[in-house]
């Protein structure tokens, strides 16, 4: 039997016959537990965490104040107006739902395909999914105007015999996003149970021991518990996998079922799904690079993980670029003058600056990932991924605003301008997202310890792990 050589550095190997390891350094069960657990156990996080948390918490407060002002005053404080009745709230909603797609893809689909490189990054992505969906859910609720009546969207028995219109895309969003959020939260929590039990066993504070004991649901790491856990995890992965395709497809129906040129097209479901994965992976890389540096996770989240994600970003960038080209081709091939006008107007009209920003960030910039040096240099990949998410926000802006700003009648044309409330709510949603993510990094296991241990190269031939004292995650 041939012997596999495992390099111990964090750099990708130059030998094409050999892949870089998924963990760097001489890792063992005890070192992985110590590396991940000490982040939550240390008395104080790094100074950078305090700075980032203060900034993000301030922006979250700005979001709260802007929302209160909006509810007290009315949606007229937004830039939404005729003909652009949909503005930044819907743009932000679609953007944040898309950000959450990488979590389900990494956690569920890569798990079903037995891709071992997902183990160090799936916890980041799952947490990001939950927080992104929370940010997304704010905007449809307040976009209805009378937010105190938003519960009418739920099909509950009532004495008024007022039932939701099941033909409304708004109701489709309610079911799709709530299902996605529920399954993603269950998947995230179930995966953390063994790691929460490790935190419980290592706790020196009685309060932490009680809290982590409740959260770990009595986990003891027995063979029966592992069997039930793995079966439940597999079932949830199978349940979550169709959501990757269905959720953003349903969100795209908000536009595709309308009779508006530029929206009424069948390319939207696959186009939106590819764009969601594209932006989601970019956000994971943006968050992971500083997190692994500040919290000492470079040996667990290696350059190989980041490079693989950058390859996915490159592939989905090509898909998105193809979709952009096909939109123009179908508009020409279909022979509909209104459809043709909309796409010419996007590229050459008053919003040309937004369209070409979108194309530059989403199609041109990611092609630098063809170069290995860019794919494996952290600061370079962060710049590219930030630009990708800028481009993906502009993509949603272009779809929503340019299709509405010029109606069938030139007398109905208008130009959308965001207000200060629009801007503060967008910036504040990023504050909420980063606040939740920073709290997750501080108090919960950032890396799935139990899963990373399962891919260590040095196992015993008998098929069981050599267990350090007090490690309940061995089988």
Instruction: Give the C-alpha separation, 116 to 448, whole Å.
Output: 12
Q: Is the pLDDT of residue 397 over 70?
A: yes
Within a 10 A sphere around the Cβ of 260, how many other Cβ atoms?
15
Q: What is the pLDDT of residues 309-333, one digit of tens each?
A: 999 999 999 999 999 999 889 888 8
CA dist 95 → 224, 311, 393, 395, 473 (Å):
42, 21, 6, 9, 37
Residue 437 pLDDT grade (very low, low, confident, very high; cuts 50, 70, 90): very high
Contact by Cβ (8 Å): 114, 294: no
Q: Is the pLDDT of residue 403 over 80?
A: yes
Q: Report pLDDT for 412.
A: 80
What does pLDDT average to over the chain? 85
Q: Give me the percent of the chain exceeding a pLDDT of 90.
A: 34
pLDDT surpasses 60 at 279: yes
Q: Does the structure show a pLDDT above 70 at 17? A: no
Q: Is pLDDT above 60 for 4?
A: no
Q: So what's the pLDDT on residue 468?
A: 38
- Residue-range domain boundaries for the chain: 31-143+173-453
Question: pLDDT, tens digit, for every residue of 439-454?
Answer: 999 899 988 888 888 8
Band (pLDDT 50/70/90 cuts) for residue 13 is: low
Residues 90, 94, 99, CA angle at the centre, nearest 5°?
A: 145
pLDDT recorded at residue 10: 43
pLDDT at 465 > cutoff 50: no
pLDDT of residue 466: 40
Determine the pLDDT at residue 96.
Answer: 92
Choice between 370 and 79, residue whose per-residue pLDDT is larger: 370
Least Cα distance to 389 among 274, 244, 281, 306 occurs for: 281
Q: What is the pLDDT of residues 288-306, one digit of tens each?
A: 999 888 888 888 888 888 9
- Burial classification of residue 250, based on how many CB atoms lie within 10 Å of its CB (0-12 exposed, 13-18 middle, 19 or more buried): buried
Q: DSSP 3-state assignment of 200?
A: helix
Give residue-wise pLDDT tens across range 184-234: 899 899 989 999 999 998 888 888 899 999 999 889 988 899 999 999 999
| d(C-alpha 129, C-alpha 122), whole Å | 10
Please determine, for residue 176, whether its predicted confidence score (pLDDT) is greater than 70: yes
Residue with tokens 């652009």: 84
What are 45-69's pLDDT values in tens digits? 888 889 999 999 999 999 999 999 9
Least confident of 163-167, 260-264, 326-330, 399-403: 163-167
**The pLDDT of residue 14:** 59
pTM: 0.87
Tokens at 63, concatenated: 């979001």
pLDDT in tens, 98-114: 888 878 888 888 888 88
Helix (H, G, I), strand (E, B) or coil at 445: coil
């Amino acid at each position: 039997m041939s012997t596999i050589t495992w390099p111990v550095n964090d750099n990708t190997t130059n030998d094409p016959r050999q892949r870089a390891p998924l963990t760097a350094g001489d890792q063992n069960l005890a070192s992985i537990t110590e590396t991940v657990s000490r982040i939550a156990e240390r008395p104080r996080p790094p100074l950078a965490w305090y700075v980032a948390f203060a900034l993000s918490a301030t922006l979250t407060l700005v979001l709260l104040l802007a929302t209160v002002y909006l509810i007290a005053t009315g949606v007229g404080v937004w830039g939404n107006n005729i003909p652009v009745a949909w503005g930044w709230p819907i743009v932000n909603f679609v953007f944040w739902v898309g950000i959450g797609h990488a979590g389900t893809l990494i956690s569920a689909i890569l798990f079903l395909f037995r891709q071992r490189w997902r183990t160090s990054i799936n916890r980041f992505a799952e947490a990001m999914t939950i927080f992104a969906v929370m940010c997304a859910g704010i905007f449809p609720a307040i976009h209805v105007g009378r937010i105190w009546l938003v519960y009418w969207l739920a099909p509950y028995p009532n004495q008024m015999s007022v039932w939701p219109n099941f033909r409304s895309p708004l109701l489709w969003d309610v079911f799709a996003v709530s299902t996605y959020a529920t399954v993603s939260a269950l998947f995230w929590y179930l995966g953390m149970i063994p790691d929460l039990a490790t935190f419980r066993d290592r706790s020196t504070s009685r309060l932490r021991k009680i809290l982590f004991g409740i959260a770990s649901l009595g986990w003891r790491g027995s063979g029966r518990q592992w069997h039930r856990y793995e079966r439940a995890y597999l079932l949830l992965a199978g349940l979550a996998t169709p959501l990757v395709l269905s959720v953003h497809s349903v969100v795209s129906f908000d536009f595709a079922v309308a009779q508006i040129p530029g929206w009424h097209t069948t390319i939207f479901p696959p186009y939106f799904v590819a764009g969601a994965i594209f932006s989601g992976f970019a956000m994971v890389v943006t968050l992971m690079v500083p997190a692994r540096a500040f919290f000492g996770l470079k040996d667990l989240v290696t350059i190989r993980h980041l490079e693989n994600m950058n390859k996915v970003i490159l592939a989905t960038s090509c898909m998105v670029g193809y979709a952009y080209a096909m939109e123009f081709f179908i508009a020409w091939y279909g022979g509909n003058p209104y459809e043709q006008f909309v796409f010419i107007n996007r590229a050459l009209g008053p919003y040309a600056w937004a369209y070409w920003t979108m194309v530059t960030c989403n199609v041109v910039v990611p092609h630098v990932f063809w170069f290995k040096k860019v794919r494996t240099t952290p600061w370079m990949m962060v710049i590219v991924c930030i630009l990708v998410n800028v481009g993906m926000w502009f993509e949603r802006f272009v779809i929503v605003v340019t299709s509405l700003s010029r109606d069938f009648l030139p007398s109905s044309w208008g130009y959308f301008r965001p207000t200060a409330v629009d801007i503060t709510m967008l910036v504040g949603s990023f504050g909420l997202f980063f606040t939740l993510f920073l709290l997750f990094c501080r108090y919960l296991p950032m890396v799935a310890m139990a899963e990373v241990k399962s891919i260590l190269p040095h196992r015993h031939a008998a098929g069981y792990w050599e267990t350090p004292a007090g490690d309940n995650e061995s089988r």
